[in-house]
Every structure is written in structure tokens, then in C-alpha cells.
């Protein structure tokens, strides 16, 4: 069963394929330019090297068309030269794509490692602070403790106060020993309260920093994709290390850009290309002639058809069925070969090939141009 697609949809698909292929060509040319530009020592050298690499990438996308045209014309030297140019340009473009992908992957791995280290450091600091906060326990406020200390200093001691007598408990004295011991305990409590307050502030800062990190570094791996693919390969029984998997990924990404930019345009325009009238016949074209004979010819005793009548109806049949029509000389050769294989007699009539006892199937509109036997 033959599935036919409307010409409008075909043209739309071809245009879409061309646009996407041109986009891939632009991406590949940009990669070539950037990689070549970075290798130069000066600005001018970078522009020269980068422009040459980008132009070579654009030429590479056209080489498939040139090679196809040379093949049709039988210019084998041009075909060989095109193949060599295609391999050289594609190889350089592939290395540029792999190099660019390697740089991006290395940068992303470094960012993930840095994020994981930052997250780990923040989490470790939070854990330490929370442990110290738990060790200190609940503390009174500094204002409350300071007020108690001032109360001790203001305590009456004879005709003076503890604060004046001991100079705020900086000098010893038997009369102020008990009060200063109480003041020392309060000072220690004040120190713990100040530490607890600083720990609380530091915890708030660390938790805010952890919130800013978001999910960055949460996976704890430099390249989750690489780890996942390595685990899959191990599960499948393939003994591959992460370096081999990384290399395979780089080649895959490079090939994605390279194949898309080099062959995408050629493949996308296939529906718009038809066999030329002078092109050497292929097995598909022979089949088209055979299909024409099966659909349009029938045995008729006493009648016959000339090769010109057959070719005229063949052109109308090809236009109606969407098949690629052969030139008249090629059609004559193909039909004569088909007639010989089928045992259909052939003779000359007025300097034309004539096939007796055969006629065109009536369609109501086709011109049969019958010739009496």
C-alpha cells in the first residue's frame, strides 16, 4: 500500500528541514570559529584562523550536493576530491565540536564540585554551631545578667558599696569575697550568653547561605549524567570506567553537531530533487517502466503501438503518478529490454519501433494513438 503525502505538506517539511539544517550549520560554524580563534596568538591571527574554519564548515555542507552532481556527470576525479574535502572538513569540525563539549563539561563539573564543597562546608559549620548551641543550653539575656551584676556592685558594704570597695571586683578583700564570687559567676554566665547570641546570629547567616545555594551541589556528584550512564553500563555487564563513558559522550555530542550540519541540508532537500532526463537509469527507473506497462498496457489482437505513442502515454502516466520520467532514448531502451524479457514481438514500422498485438487500457481521457497491425 502506497502512502501519499500532499505536496503542500511535503514542501512545508522540506522548508522546516532546511531551516533546522541551516541552524545546525550556523552552530557548527560558530563552534569552529570559537575553537580556532582561541588557538591564535593575536587578534588578527584569531580572526583569520576562525574565519577559515567557519568557511570550511559551510563548504562542507555543500560538498554532498557537489559530489552528487559530479557522480551524475561521471566526473570521478571531482567525486574523489569532494570526498577527500568532506572527510578533512568533517574531521576538523568533529574535533572542534568534541573540544567545545569537553570544555563545557569540564566547566560544569568544576562548578558542581565547587558547589558541593561549599554546601558541605556550610553544612559542617551548621552542625558544629548547633552542637555548641545545644551544649550551652538556654541562656538568659545579656541585659538581665548585666542588671544582676550591677545589683551586686550596688550592694551595701559598711559605709560603702561592693563596687566601690573592690573597684568592681578587680581588687581582693575579705569583706567583698562572697559578693565578688557571685559577680564572677554572673560574668561567666554573661560570657556564655554572649557566645549563645553570636552562635544564633551565625546560624542564621549559615542557613541563609544554604538557602541561597538552593539545589546546587545537593547531588554531591561532579557529573550525575556520567555516574548514571556508568551505572547503566555496569548493570548491562559492560566493563567501562567513567573516563570511557565521558569520551563516548563527547564523541556523541560532537557527532550530533557534525552529522547534522554536514548531511542535514542534503537529506532535507531529497523530496525536491528529481532524476534528471539524462541520468543513467537505475533499478528504480526500470521498475517504473515495468509499473507503467502493467498499469497501462493490455493484449489486443490485430492492433499495436509505436514507441512514440508509448512514450507519450508514459509521460502522462509519470506526471499523474508522481514518478520520475526518463528521457525518450532511455525509455526506448528500457521498454525494449522489458519487451524482450516478456517475449513481446518487436518490428520496424516506418522507421519506428512497433509492438504488435498490444494496446493502451481505455481511461476515457488518455490519447491512445493506436496503429493498425
Residue 225, domain member (yes or no): no
Identify the domain boundary among 197, 213, 229. 213
Residue 233, domain member (yes or no): no
Q: Which of 37-51, 69-83, 130-144, 338-352 has the lowest mean pLDDT?
A: 338-352
* Residues, the chain: 373
Residue 231, domain member (yes or no): no
Residue 63, domain member (yes or no): yes
pLDDT at residue 281 in the model: 42
H runs (alpha helix) in the chain: 7-39, 43-73, 76-136, 142-153, 162-166, 177-213, 224-235, 242-268, 283-296, 307-321, 328-342
Identify the domain boundary among 213, 231, 257. 213
- Same domain? For 268 and 287 the reply is no
Residue 227, domain member (yes or no): no
Residue 221, domain member (yes or no): no
The domain total for the chain is 3
The larger pLDDT score, comparing residue 270 to residue 84, is at 84
Burial 76-98 (b: 16+ CB within 10 A, else e): eeebeebeebbeebbebbbebbb
- Same domain? For 174 and 94 the reply is no
- Same domain? For 121 and 140 the reply is yes
Residue 298, domain member (yes or no): yes
- Residue-number span of the structural domain to which 295 is assigned: 283-372
CATH of the domain at 354: 1.10.10.10
Average pLDDT of the residues in 4-18: 76
- Same domain? For 188 and 261 the reply is no
Kindly indicate the confidence band of residue 217, based on its pLDDT and cuts at 50, 70 and 90: low
- Same domain? For 150 and 206 the reply is yes
- Same domain? For 139 and 193 the reply is yes
- Same domain? For 129 and 189 the reply is yes
Burial 252-283 (b: 16+ CB within 10 A, else e): ebbeebbebbbbbbbebbeeeeebeeeeebee
pLDDT at residue 147 in the model: 92
Identify the domain boundary among 205, 237, 272. 272
Q: What is the pLDDT of residues 285-296, one digit of tens each?
A: 444 888 888 888
Average pLDDT of the residues in 280-303: 71
CA pseudo-torsion sign 112, 115, 119, 120: positive
- Same domain? For 44 and 78 the reply is yes
- Same domain? For 209 and 154 the reply is yes
DSSP letter at 241 equals -
Q: Is the pLDDT of residue 19 over 60?
A: yes
- Same domain? For 68 and 125 the reply is no
- Same domain? For 180 and 252 the reply is no
Amino acid at each position: 500500500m502506497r502512502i501519499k503525502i500532499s505536496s503542500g505538506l511535503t514542501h512545508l517539511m522540506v522548508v522546516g528541514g532546511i531551516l533546522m539544517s541551516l541552524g545546525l550549520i550556523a552552530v557548527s560554524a560558530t563552534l569552529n570559529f570559537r575553537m580556532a580563534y582561541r588557538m591564535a596568538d593575536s587578534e588578527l591571527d584569531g580572526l583569520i584562523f576562525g574565519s577559515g574554519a567557519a568557511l570550511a564548515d559551510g563548504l562542507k555542507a555543500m560538498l554532498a550536493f557537489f559530489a552528487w552532481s559530479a557522480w551524475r556527470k561521471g566526473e570521478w576525479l571531482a567525486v574523489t576530491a569532494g570526498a577527500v574535502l568532506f572527510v578533512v572538513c568533517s574531521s576538523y569540525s568533529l574535533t572542534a565540536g568534541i573540544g567545545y563539549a569537553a570544555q563545557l563539561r569540564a566547566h560544569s563539573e568544576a562548578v558542581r564540585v565547587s558547589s558541593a564543597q561549599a554546601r558541605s562546608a556550610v553544612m559542617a559549620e551548621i552542625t558544629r554551631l548547633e552542637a555548641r548551641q545545644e551544649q550551652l543550653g538556654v541562656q538568659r539575656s545579656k541585659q538581665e545578667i548585666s542588671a544582676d551584676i550591677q545589683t551586686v556592685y550596688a550592694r551595701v558594704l559598711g559605709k560603702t558599696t561592693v563596687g566601690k570597695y573592690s573597684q568592681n571586683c578587680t581588687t581582693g578583700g575579705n569583706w567583698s569575697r562572697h559578693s565578688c564570687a557571685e559577680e564572677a559567676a554572673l560574668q561567666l554566665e554573661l560570657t556564655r550568653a554572649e557566645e549563645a547570641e553570636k552562635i544564633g546570629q551565625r546560624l542564621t547567616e549559615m542557613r541563609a547561605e544554604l538557602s541561597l545555594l538552593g539545589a546546587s551541589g545537593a547531588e554531591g556528584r561532579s557529573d550525575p549524567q556520567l555516574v548514571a550512564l556508568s551505572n547503566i553500563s555496569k548493570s548491562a555487564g559492560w566493563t567501562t570506567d567513567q573516563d570511557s563513558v565521558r569520551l563516548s559522550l563527547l564523541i556523541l555530542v560532537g557527532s550530533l553537531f557534525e552529522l547534522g550540519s554536514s548531511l542535514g541540508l542534503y537529506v532535507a532537500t531529497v523530496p525536491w530533487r528529481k532524476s534528471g532526463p539524462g541520468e543513467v537509469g537505475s533499478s528504480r527507473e526500470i521498475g517504473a517502466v515495468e509499473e507503467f506497462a502493467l498499469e497501462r498496457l493490455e493484449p489486443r489482437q490485430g492492433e499495436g503501438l509505436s514507441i512514440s505513442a508509448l512514450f507519450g502515454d508514459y509521460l502522462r502516466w509519470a506526471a499523474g503518478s508522481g514518478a520520475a520520467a526518463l528521457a525518450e532514448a532511455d525509455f526506448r531502451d528500457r521498454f525494449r529490454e522489458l519487451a524482450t524479457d516478456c517475449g513481446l514481438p518487436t518490428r520496424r514500422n516506418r522507421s519506428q519501433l512497433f509492438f504488435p498485438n498490444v494496446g493502451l487500457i481505455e481511461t476515457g481521457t488518455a490519447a491512445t494513438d493506436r496503429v493498425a497491425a
